[in-house]
Structure 1
Amino acid sequence: MKEQIITRDVVANPKTKYGNAKASTRHFITQRLTGAINVLFILFLVFIVAKLAGADRADMVATIGNGWIGLPLALLLVIVTIHMRNGMRDTLEDYFAGRAYSTYMTLNTLFCVVIAVAGVAAILKLVFWG
């Protein structure tokens, strides 16, 4: 089977089957939704940073260990990593294709999962076990 070379003309032609329409729509909506949530959460984050400015470790642990602060902060971390993964996906799509794209996208996903899990675990430890 002959592999088609993907050029600007192929992508611009609506009759070609380039990409997955449902995945692209989901990616677009996820990127916009997580971006909007990040904008809303920025006020919360600024409040936390301002409150903790100049505080010692005990005050920081007590503040982040509060469930009303720590749980939304953990949710924010998850949403930020989803947004980060999608943004990096856009960059990887621009510069890589085929096997290299798949490899870098897998590494990107793994990195984002590690950041989210480590951060959420640290926050939940403070919330539930001080």
Structure 2
Amino acid sequence: MRETVITPASIANPKTHYGDAKASTRHFITQRVTGLINVLFLGLLLFIVVRLAGQDRADMVSVIGNFWIGVPLALLIAIAAVHMRNGMRDTLEDYFAGSMYRLTMLLNTLFCLIVGLAGAGAVLKIVFWG
């Protein structure tokens, strides 16, 4: 398979095709949709932060343990992890290539998966098991 060399001239030429168009479009749309959802959930997050300011652990557990607050909060954490993965991917694409690129993408995905599962799991544990 012949490797295509990407140059500034090939990027400037609109007839040159490089990269995966479907994956790039999916990435673009996912980043915008998760960003919009994060903005919409900002009100819930602000409510929780203001409500829990100066409270002790028992009050925190009672607020987050409410089904109508805890489940959307867990969803927000999961969506923020997806948004974080895509944002980190954009940055890592600029600095790494080859096998190092694949390794950093794997580590990025694993890190965001662990953060998302741990955060959402902790909130859902409080909601369903106190």
- Is TM > 0.5 for Structure 1 vs Structure 2? yes
Q: How many residues align?
A: 130
Counterpart position of 1:110: 110
How far the C-alpha of 1:2 sits from its partner, in A, is 5.2
- 1:12-31 aligned at under 5 Å gives the runs 12-31=12-31
* CA RMSD in angstroms, aligned pairs only: 1.2
Q: Is 1:71 matched with 2:71?
A: yes
How far the C-alpha of 1:5 sits from its partner, in A, is 2.7
- 1:48-127 aligned at under 5 Å gives the runs 48-127=48-127
TM-score norm. by structure 1 comes to: 0.94
Q: In 2, distance between residues paired with 1:12 and 1:111? A: 35
Unaligned runs of 5+ in 2: none
Q: Name the amino acid aligned to 1:89.
A: R
Unaligned runs of 5+ in 1: none
What percent of counterpart residues are identical? 68
Q: Name the amino acid aligned to 1:13.
A: N
How far the C-alpha of 1:11 sits from its partner, in A, is 2.6
